[in-house]
A and B are shown apart, each in its own frame.
Chain A
Amino acid sequence: MPRLSPNTWCAIGVSAGTLIYLAEAWELPFGGARNPDIGFLPILTGFIVLGLAFLLIGWEFFRPDAPKKDLFTDEEKGESAGFKKPLILGAAILVYPAAFLHLGFLLSTILLLALSLRLMEYRGWPGSLIIASLVTLSAYFLFGYWLHVNFPKGILG
């Protein structure tokens, strides 16, 4: 598989997102120049963004000297530790809102924080869990009690 430049990757992602958006926007009434309706700007902008994304892909395609760098190893003067850690944390972040609803704020946040502390190599698992618990409890009392933020209690409720 040929390696794609960062710009091409981004343009492909934006195109995909815009196509989904346009599929939804297509249902909206467009109106006309005299009386632009609620679909006027979304459809117009959607097509413009799609055009720009294709233009960027074309630009990259016809310029073979485009830089095709490895995103996680050669950046920032070799200071990257690879893609695994952000990938694991990203996955945890995606799961978090579901856990937040079902397990509640305290449990889900303690787990997420402990994982991120461990991934960032602050302490081992026991230390990370203790620090995560302390920080989360402090936040819970500060925001939940003092500022009356209504956190879901989950299985602890």
Chain B
Amino acid sequence: MEGLLQGFVVVLTPLNFVFALLGAFLGTLVGVLPGIGPIGAMALLLSATYTLPPSTALIMFAGIYYGSMYGGSTTSILVNIPGEPSSVVTCLDGNQMARKGRGGSALFIAAIGSFIAGTIALLLLTFLAPLLAEAALKFGPPEFFAIAVFGLIVLSQLSGQGLLKSFLMIGLGILLSTIGLDVITGRPRLTFGTISLQQGIDFVPIAMGLFGVAEVLQVAEEKVKGKKQVVRVRLRELLPNRLEARRSAGPVIRGSFLGFLTGLIPGPAAVISTFLSYTLERKLSRNPKEFGQGAPEGVAGPESANNASAVGAFVPLLSLGIPFAPPTALLLSAMMIHGVTPGPLLIQQRPDVFWGVIASMYIGNFMLLALNLPLVGLFINVLRTPKNLLMPCILLLCIVGGFAVNNSVVDLWIMLLAGILGFVLKKLNFSVAPLVLALVIGPMLEDSLRQSLMLSQGDMSVFYTHPLSRYLFLFAGVIVLTPALLRVLKKKPASGKRSAPRPDRRKDPGSAAG
């Protein structure tokens, strides 16, 4: 409790307060705009925060991340275009409510749900993160190696493209992470004879390329469309009626806990949590047929879940120093650029950062509530900016951001090549999230693997004799094998009916393989 109070002291200084507000505002803005997500926005702003104190910069970045979860719902409800992937589910019922003249009510439910879920998740984060950080102080290299492998395995199952394709992307990310100076010996490797590659491949230009430049190329390919149909909402129409409020209460609470737990899992937790919440609410509802027709539960549950999962994702980041999702990977990069070493010692070494970020999220939650509802008209106007003007501007910001990280043309090359790679991978239906996370986790994975082997004199059983590592590896094995076993078991009874063709089975070979 003392730590949290110290955090409030940090965040309530005028500078930090202004930057928390700025982060929340920018987060909402990027959430509203389809195309530029929190990762792109944080990467672009990284160079602008060099002169700021670390806690101020991180408070702003955290605001951008959870703010984007709020903003995404606005476009889903009023335009039927999700600003963020985590708001896709909100389109189903949110836009239907708007078409029935209940758009204001849907926005209010989404905002209040997000606020309550954010607060519940923050309470859980406040108590859980220090406990986990304390426990993590006892971890050795085998445990960290097991956590890294476990994270990547779970991510590969959840990235939605099947095991084989995910493993390929993870492998690619690890290969990229090995370029540059070796972590243990400090010797250069895989630099192809160039000095500029000795610094390694930085995560920020890669993220900007894969998420920013790739999106610009994607828009260049799309046909130019006419103006979007935006449902108008007046301020006085914002309050939901009593029935809508009553129907939303349960889904908000359930979504909060479900979202927080999902946030602890590696992968696109925010997206998964919304689908889980939607499915759960439809199963529990007395009127499941109303789902997809404008059921308030279909807005309240998923919107609460995605906000809670964004907060939940801070637990592994702040307590273990391991990012389980691309936005938290960028936060990790931002921490390191600002000289803050993330991990179990963060709470002891930099309590101002640890507690400052957590406290800023409590305050940011209120800021978002105050920003989102009255300023809905402003955000909708931003949405009217033509995509074919917005995207070249994003390209410019990517160029500036990519160059400014180290004032390096090599970084610019890396970013632009990553953009082309990201576009090609998108066209080939490969998700880049495993690649990005493997690039970030790669050095830790290698470091802990080599240290474990050196300490055990090459004895692989070190990963079995340490209890946490044993259970994590076993659990990872179960995660990999269960879907395959289930598929085999399902196949057996149907083996006599092989005549019927099943074209959908080979929709994705990776998924078939996994």
Contact = CB atoms under 8 A, between A and B. Distances in A.
A103 interface: no
A25 B217 CA distance: 32
Contacts of A81: 221-224
B217 A89 contact: yes
A41 B449 contact: yes
24 contacts: A7-B509, A7-B510, A10-B425, A25-B189, A33-B460, A34-B457, A38-B185, A41-B445, A41-B449, A49-B171, A52-B167, A59-B164, A72-B221, A75-B427, A79-B222, A79-B223, A81-B222, A81-B224, A90-B217, A90-B420, A97-B412, A109-B396, A121-B224, A139-B396
B407 A49 contact: no
A35 B184 CA distance: 12
A151 B427 CA distance: 33
B334 to A, nearest CB: 16
B392 interface: yes
B509 to A, nearest CB: 5
A67 B450 contact: no
Query: What does DSSP make chain A's interface, helix, strand, loop or mixed?
Result: helix
Contacts of A94: 416-417, 420
B190 A120 contact: no
A139 B389 CA distance: 15
Interface of A: 6-7, 9-11, 13-14, 17-18, 21, 24-25, 28, 32-42, 45-46, 48-49, 52-53, 55-56, 59-60, 63, 65-67, 71-72, 75-76, 79-83, 85-86, 89-90, 93-94, 96-97, 100-101, 109, 112-113, 116-117, 119-122, 131-132, 135-136, 139, 143, 147, 149-152
A80 B187 contact: no
Given A72-B221, A93-B420, A149-B404, A59 B392 contact: no
A116 B407 contact: no
Interface stretch (B92-100, B172-180, B316-324, B469-477): B172-180
Contact of B427 (A6, A109, A147): A6
Interface in B158-212: 164-165, 167-168, 171-172, 174-175, 178, 182, 184-185, 187, 189-190, 192
Contacts of B185: 37-38
Closest 10 CB pairs of A and B: A33-B458, A120-B388, A49-B171, A34-B458, A6-B428, A116-B392, A122-B388, A38-B182, A149-B404, A85-B220
B47 interface: yes
Interface string B411-426: 0110011011001110
A103 B413 CA distance: 16
A10 B178 CA distance: 21
Contact of B396 (A32, A35, A135, A152): A135
Interface of B: 47-48, 50-51, 164-165, 167-168, 171-172, 174-175, 178, 182, 184-185, 187, 189-190, 192, 213, 216-225, 386-389, 391-393, 395-397, 399-400, 403-404, 407, 409, 412-413, 416-417, 419-420, 423-425, 427-430, 445-446, 449-450, 453-454, 457-458, 460, 503, 506-507, 509-510, 512-513
Given A38-B187, A55-B164, A151 B392 contact: no
A139 to B, nearest CB: 6
Nearest to A150: B407
A32 B424 CA distance: 37
B171 A56 contact: no
A36 B449 CA distance: 9
Contacts of B218: 86
Most buried by A among B425, B428, B446: B428
A112 B454 CA distance: 51
B47 A41 contact: no
Nearest to B217: A86
B175 A21 contact: yes
A36 B184 CA distance: 11
A25 to B, nearest CB: 6
B416 A96 contact: yes
Given A36-B454, A139-B396, A116 B175 contact: no
Contact of A120 (B220, B420, B424): B220
A116 B216 contact: yes
Contacts of A67: 506-507
A152 B399 CA distance: 13
Contacts of A40: 450
B400 A24 contact: no
Given A42-B190, A93-B420, A150-B407, A135 B513 contact: no
A52 B182 contact: no
B326 to A, nearest CB: 20
A14 B429 CA distance: 14
A56 B509 contact: yes
Given A10-B428, A33-B460, A122-B386, A89 B172 contact: no
Given A10-B425, A100-B412, A59 B220 contact: no
A80 B222 contact: yes
Contacts of B404: 143, 147, 149
Given A86-B220, A117-B392, A149-B403, A49 B509 contact: no
